[in-house]
Structure 1
Amino acid sequence: MQYKRNQNTNLQHTANSKRKNEQLNQILMQPKFDEAEAKRYVLNHYMSRMQQDVNELKVQYEFLQVLNHQQRKNWINNCLR
């Protein structure tokens, strides 16, 4: 089940990367720079990255929940430098 979810996530990331590259090419190949379109591109790019970062923090949080207090302290001291 987790493998299938990971596979779907990877396919989505590949499709998103292709779409982002196409959007970037479209912005850069225009005869005149469209600042509004560039801002939309940057905003969309960083919003998706922000969601990935939030998801990563959620996984780390869930991982820490299975550790006891001392294990949490050790993990934080050794892994979050």
Structure 2
Amino acid sequence: MSDMEDLKAKLDGVGTRIEAVRKELKLKELFHKDHQATADELAQRYKILADELKNEVDTLETKGSHVDGLEKAVLTWMNSLNFDH
């Protein structure tokens, strides 16, 4: 590899890490208790929480447990708790 290719590869790596940190910071901002959410951000937050619930239910059902409506409601409630105080 030439010096230019090495430099480009390093810069691409830095760019990838910067983008990952930006996404992480945006999520932290989205879930901050003082954040005034827009409709799009609320939809994003709902999707994240719904995906989290689905993953939890899938994990429990994979282990042989049946998850009924009440258990899903409790998991949803637990996921909605705000520990940002």
TM-score range, shorter chain: 0.3 to 0.5
Relative to its length, the structure with more helix (as a share) is: 1
Say which structure, 1 or 2, has more relative contact order (CA 8 Å, 6+ apart).
Answer: 2
Q: TM-score, normalised by structure 2?
A: 0.39
